[in-house]
Structure 1
Amino acid sequence: MAQSYKTLKEEFVSNLSGSSVSEVNYVTAIAPTAYLLWSALQSRHNFFDRYGPAAYLTDILLNAVAFLFATTLYSSHLLLLNTLLISPAIVLYFLPPAAAAHKKAVKPPPNNASKKDANGAEKLVQLPIRPFITAYRGAMIMSTCVAILAVDFRIFPRRFAKVETWGTSLMDMGVGSFVFSAGLVSARPILSAHLSSKTSSLGKSLRSSFRSSAPLLLLGLIRLYSVKGLDYAEHVTEYGVHWNFFFTLALLPPFVAIFQSFSAMLPYTALLSLFISSIYELLLDLTSLKAYILTAPRIDLLSQNREGVFSFLGYLAIFLAGQAIGFDVLPRNLRGRSTTSSNQQRRALLLRLATWTTAWSLLFYATTSFSFGLKLRVSRRMANLPYVFWVSAFNCAQITLFCITETVFFPGVYRAVEKEGERRESDRATSRVLYSLNRNGLAVFLLANLLTGLVNLTLDTLSMGRMAAMGTLIAYTSLFTAVAVALDRWNLSIKL
């Protein structure tokens, strides 16, 4: 009976064809529109300054449960759900702000970013906190954690699950976005070293990258032995017989360290991403590599894990594309604009983000169009060239939307002239739920994986009705979110 149920579970997530790019955009738009409403409530009414039960519940409903509803009950009414979030935000924006909104908050800000540094300096730092990046990354982690369990229930549409070989879906985008986001934040230590004129040798960089990769490698091994030991349902064509996503994440830092040592010029990162993904696509199209990945018998270690091994090249390109964006959005001043005003800097940043979005989108169109392009199809399984372009364009667009919201509702963030004022404004512009998810993102992702395994081992998710499924998913979403908020409240950062 157990074997039969395992087979049913594997068939439930296999041989799927996905949905359209536009539908993926509609469902993922819930994250920035929810943040839009959150921002309207906060900027016009200081709703989240006093972070009591009402504010906490509203924060979770907007920035976590709303996405869960988008992938379940409202999956066929995505425009309606987006409208329900956008409409009150627009009304709040044009209504006069509450009197309390004009007063300076006296309560200490909700996270640790507002503490003074050791020497008490008030000078603006060159790598400031970016609330819109925190919101983007927190929303990405939240949506990924929601989807990895929701996919096991029938209430989650099959078109949102990972496709078998060719096509686009919500979960295919989720995997790529996780890597892109990791690449974005990896730019911070490089920029910090660049600004302080400190250079690291290749050996030192590799040692540092291996230290950061070791926990991920360990998590990958734990997942491998857990899946095999518990006879857990698995979809072999995702990464292979033994490979899993943690192994992909673990291998990225060392390879990036090697490439980074070849060039100290930061602008070339995007070109390197384009070069790697293009060479990989040529190998797929001009050699037998594509056929090998899709059809080869699993007779040895390489062939058994061919999807994970070769798709790594695509994920490496995605990571580097994210790093290229990080080099632009994380510093206070864009390259070549250090003397311009804060307003001009923000306009230049928005223009740069729009340019990145347009460039990646045009490249995606050029490779996939059957009228004017190369007529290639997206494949998350191989992480091919269109997949790299799609993930890069999507994430640049998401970051742009979050940046626009911050610009409109919290101009004090980028207009601040001293350190404490900037930190105070940044705290006001940051959802505690999204900040907490971003702060311990990998730990929360690991917890979500453990909870997903526990639910699947104890409950028959395929037979659960709508009410029972929604109850389970809401409890699960509330739990991992509450743990993230609790870790932040206790000032704990779990580094994995």
Structure 2
Amino acid sequence: MDPSYKARKEAFVSNLSGSTIGDINAVTLVAPASVLLWSALQSRLSFFNPYGPAALLTDFILNVLAILFATTAYSSAPLLLNILLISPAILLYLTQSPLRPTQKAKPPRKKNVKDEASQEEAQSLPIHPFLTTYRSAMMIVTCVAILAVDFRVFPRRFAKVENWGTSLMDMGVGSFVFSAGVVSARALLKSKASRSPKAAFYQRLIGSFRHSIPLLVLGLIRLWSVKGLDYAEHVTEYGVHWNFFFTLGFLPPFVEVFDSLTVLVPSYEMLAISIMIFYQVLLESTDLKSYILISPRGEDLISKNREGIFSFLGYLAIFLAGRGAGTRIIPRATSSSKSPQQARKSMLVSLTLQVLFWSTLFFFNSTYAFGYGAGIRVSRRLANMPYVLWVSAFNSAQLLLFCLVETVFFPTIHRATSKDDEGERTSFATSRILRAFNHSGLAIFLIANLLTGVVNLSVPTLDVKVPQAMVILVAYMAILTGIALGMEKANIKLRL
């Protein structure tokens, strides 16, 4: 890469101050607003069944292009875009009756088989469409941002801040980790429900290291490619050698260690808060903060990669907070005394309390709160306590919004009489594109990184005008969507 252009690229993403939390919330509200309109079309008109070219195009416009345009062309008017999405959804909700779910006739089963199947289904973990939608929306926002940030059509206020402040991409990194924590609870819950004895700690630790190897290898490949191709990089983001794949790769063994501590502290949220407090005390009572932010870089690996190494504590806390949320919202929660409707109400109450909990902690931690708050500024570079609390509050609110949309438009999903019937209902209530992005999330993330590199090495993104930039970005998201749909059809899975 030309040295002068490389310097311009690095300057383009450096020394930024971010945006307000209200601005970020307005832009990211487009994702639930798009799902709201999709749900209205599907529940009232069955618009996406059958899934023909018109349905595919509409699905792509609502769940992919709406997010792309919210962060680019409509970035100065996100509320207008939200109104354009929400208004027709409300109109459909008020003027059209919901379609009654059809149930296929099932051949009768023997009593003992039926009893066993009913018991198994009661204990199984359901597929929540709103979880699929939430996770996929986070992935789409991430994929959009990692390429769009290199174009001038992507506002600088959305790019990662240098030291202090909030931005869309700062939230995107934390949300990626939080959502991974949420879905990690499924394997944990299955393991607890299993009648087989739990493996010894050292065996689980070895297994977690094996899970880490692919991510660490990807981190090494990214490191080699960035250095070998002389690719523009923002060193203060993670350090000289560290990258996000290393953060993801080191999470499993550390999570396994803290998972074993739930015997003493039976709450992942409390474990997350304990890590946050410990880390924040180190930042405030020692020279660690100044060492990370302003000290000259030494020759040792720790000094060269201090941002990635120490911010790992914050991301570990975010992952545990996500896992805590997952342990409460993934289970079926029905019983002989609790109907599916009551279980859904309990989930909504739980999510609401979760939003209030994290938001209250964030308010008192990041502001002076009438003289009672700590007034600590958010720092994604440090992944400090207010950053962790902000990410947890934001993602809990997103989960609540997606769950509300599902509850309003598809209230009968988990009133199914059989596993097959439940599968049909969840499929009806889930966007095909969003399901595809969730199906192989890690693979899509890798491909998005590769395509981002190809575009940046082929096109002078800083000098591309807005219309050409939008064409490139739309084509990029169309390619990712096509790959995701193809991988789902071929049943190729690669998840985080």
User: How far apart, CA to CA, are the structure 1 residues paired with 2:380 and 2:366?
Assistant: 14
Identity of aligned residues (%): 57
Name the counterpart of 1:366. 364
Pairing of 1:96-135 with structure 2 (within 5 A): 96-97=96-97, 101-102=99-100, 104=102, 121=117, 123-135=121-133
Aligned pair in 2 of structure 1 residues 4, 258: CA closer, same or farther (>3 Å)? same
Name the counterpart of 1:252. 251
Pairing of 1:81-480 with structure 2 (within 5 A): 81-97=81-97, 101-102=99-100, 104=102, 121=117, 123-197=121-195, 198-264=197-263, 267-299=266-298, 300-333=300-333, 339-372=337-370, 373-480=373-480
Q: Is the 8 Å Cα contact of residues 378 and 387 (structure 2) preserved in structure 1?
A: yes
Q: Is the 8 Å Cα contact of residues 103 and 421 (structure 2) preserved in structure 1?
A: no
Q: Is the 8 Å Cα contact of residues 364 and 389 (structure 1) preserved in structure 2?
A: yes
Q: Is the 8 Å Cα contact of residues 124 and 418 (structure 1) preserved in structure 2?
A: no
User: How far apart, CA to CA, are the structure 2 residues paired with 1:126 and 1:357?
Assistant: 27
Shift of 1:267: 4.0
Aligned pair in 2 of structure 1 residues 267, 50: CA closer, same or farther (>3 Å)? farther
Q: Runs ≥4 in structure 1, deviation > 6 angstroms?
A: none
Choose 87-96 or 247-256, whichever is displaced more.
Answer: 87-96
Structure 2, unaligned runs of 5 or more: 105-114
Aligned pair in 2 of structure 1 residues 263, 382: CA closer, same or farther (>3 Å)? same
TM-score, length of structure 2 as denominator length: 0.94
Query: For 2:278, what is the secondary structure of its paired residue?
Result: helix
Shift of 1:474: 0.3
Aligned pair in 2 of structure 1 residues 495, 35: CA closer, same or farther (>3 Å)? closer
What amino acid sits opposite 1:201 in the alignment? A
Structure 1, unaligned runs of 5 or more: 107-118
Aligned pair in 2 of structure 1 residues 402, 103: CA closer, same or farther (>3 Å)? closer
User: How far apart, CA to CA, are the structure 2 residues paired with 1:314 and 1:252?
Assistant: 11
Name the counterpart of 1:112. none
Q: Is the 8 Å Cα contact of residues 16 and 159 (structure 2) preserved in structure 1?
A: yes
Query: 1:254-309 deviations in whole A, cap 9, x for unaligned?
Result: 00101112334784111000000111000000100000000121112111000000
Query: For 2:267, what is the secondary structure of its paired residue?
Result: helix
User: How far apart, CA to CA, are the structure 2 residues paired with 1:483 and 1:105?
Assistant: 32
2:41 is equivalent to residue 46 of structure 1: no
Q: Is the 8 Å Cα contact of residues 171 and 391 (structure 2) preserved in structure 1?
A: yes
Q: Is the 8 Å Cα contact of residues 124 and 419 (structure 1) preserved in structure 2?
A: no
User: How far apart, CA to CA, are the structure 1 residues paired with 2:303 and 2:200?
Assistant: 35
Name the counterpart of 1:116. none
Aligned pair in 2 of structure 1 residues 51, 220: CA closer, same or farther (>3 Å)? same
Aligned pair in 2 of structure 1 residues 61, 346: CA closer, same or farther (>3 Å)? same
Q: Is the 8 Å Cα contact of residues 267 and 324 (structure 1) preserved in structure 2?
A: no
Choose 40-49 or 306-315, whichever is displaced more.
Answer: 40-49
Shift of 1:495: 4.9
What amino acid sits opposite 2:58 in the alignment? T
Query: For 1:49, what is the secondary structure of its paired residue?
Result: coil
Aligned residues: 481
Q: Is the 8 Å Cα contact of residues 31 and 139 (structure 1) preserved in structure 2?
A: yes
Query: For 2:15, what is the secondary structure of its paired residue?
Result: coil
User: How far apart, CA to CA, are the structure 2 residues paired with 1:102 and 1:412?
Assistant: 9
User: How far apart, CA to CA, are the structure 1 residues paired with 2:357 and 2:256?
Assistant: 26
Q: Is the 8 Å Cα contact of residues 125 and 419 (structure 1) preserved in structure 2?
A: no
Tell me how large the CA RMSD over aligned residues is.
1.8
What amino acid sits opposite 2:2 in the alignment? A
Aligned pair in 2 of structure 1 residues 5, 340: CA closer, same or farther (>3 Å)? same
What amino acid sits opposite 1:39 in the alignment? S
Q: Is the 8 Å Cα contact of residues 379 and 387 (structure 2) preserved in structure 1?
A: yes
User: How far apart, CA to CA, are the structure 2 residues paired with 1:329 and 1:463?
Assistant: 46
Aligned pair in 2 of structure 1 residues 450, 274: CA closer, same or farther (>3 Å)? same
User: How far apart, CA to CA, are the structure 2 residues paired with 1:309 and 1:210?
Assistant: 18
Name the counterpart of 1:4. 4
User: How far apart, CA to CA, are the structure 1 residues paired with 2:37 and 2:31?
Assistant: 10
Query: For 1:262, what is the secondary structure of its paired residue?
Result: helix
User: How far apart, CA to CA, are the structure 1 residues paired with 2:365 and 2:308?
Assistant: 23
Aligned pair in 2 of structure 1 residues 338, 138: CA closer, same or farther (>3 Å)? farther
Name the counterpart of 1:55. 55
What amino acid sits opposite 1:286 in the alignment? S
TM-score, length of structure 1 as denominator length: 0.94
Shift of 1:242: 0.1
Q: Is the 8 Å Cα contact of residues 266 and 327 (structure 1) preserved in structure 2?
A: no
What amino acid sits opposite 2:318 in the alignment? I
User: How far apart, CA to CA, are the structure 2 residues paired with 1:185 and 1:133?
Assistant: 8
User: How far apart, CA to CA, are the structure 2 residues paired with 1:200 and 1:394?
Assistant: 35
Shift of 1:414: 2.3
Q: Is the 8 Å Cα contact of residues 162 and 169 (structure 1) preserved in structure 2?
A: yes
Query: 1:228-257 deviations in whole A, cap 9, x for unaligned?
Result: 000000000000000000000000010010
User: How far apart, CA to CA, are the structure 2 residues paired with 1:104 and 1:371?
Assistant: 52
User: How far apart, CA to CA, are the structure 1 residues paired with 2:365 and 2:143?
Assistant: 31
Shift of 1:169: 0.3
Q: Is the 8 Å Cα contact of residues 414 and 422 (structure 2) preserved in structure 1?
A: yes
Aligned pair in 2 of structure 1 residues 56, 105: CA closer, same or farther (>3 Å)? farther
